[in-house]
Amino acid sequence: MGATYPVTDDWMVSALYNRVQVLGRPTLDAHTFTANLSYYFKRNFKVMAEVTGDMESTRTDHPTKTHTGILGLVLAF
């Protein structure tokens, strides 16, 4: 489930929630929340920052939580 909100013509905020459970393969389960902030310089040129948090509980087949973040430059031609 996700939502995107245009703050202004140049700024965009997005949030995404994912819950995946694979029967018989608990190592593939995922429970994450992602937040994204994008700034559009032009229609086809943006800079963005994104953070994803691991909300899956730790257990034998998921011993550590993995949180990630990225900074990106997106060009589309």
Summarised one tens digit per residue, pLDDT across range 51-68 is 999 988 888 777 888 899
Mean pLDDT (the chain) is 91
Rounded distance, CA 36 to CA 22, Å?
26
Sign of CA dihedral 40, 44, 49, 50: positive
> Which of these ranges, 42-46, 56-60, 71-75, has the smallest mean pLDDT?
56-60
Who has greater pLDDT, 11 or 58? 11
Rounded distance, CA 52 to CA 75, Å?
22
The first and second tokens of residue 2, run together, are 């996700």
Evaluate if residue 7 carries a pLDDT over 90.
yes
The first and second tokens of residue 29, run together, are 């389960």
Question: What is the per-residue pLDDT for 57?
Answer: 81
The residue ranges of every structural domain in the chain are: 2-75
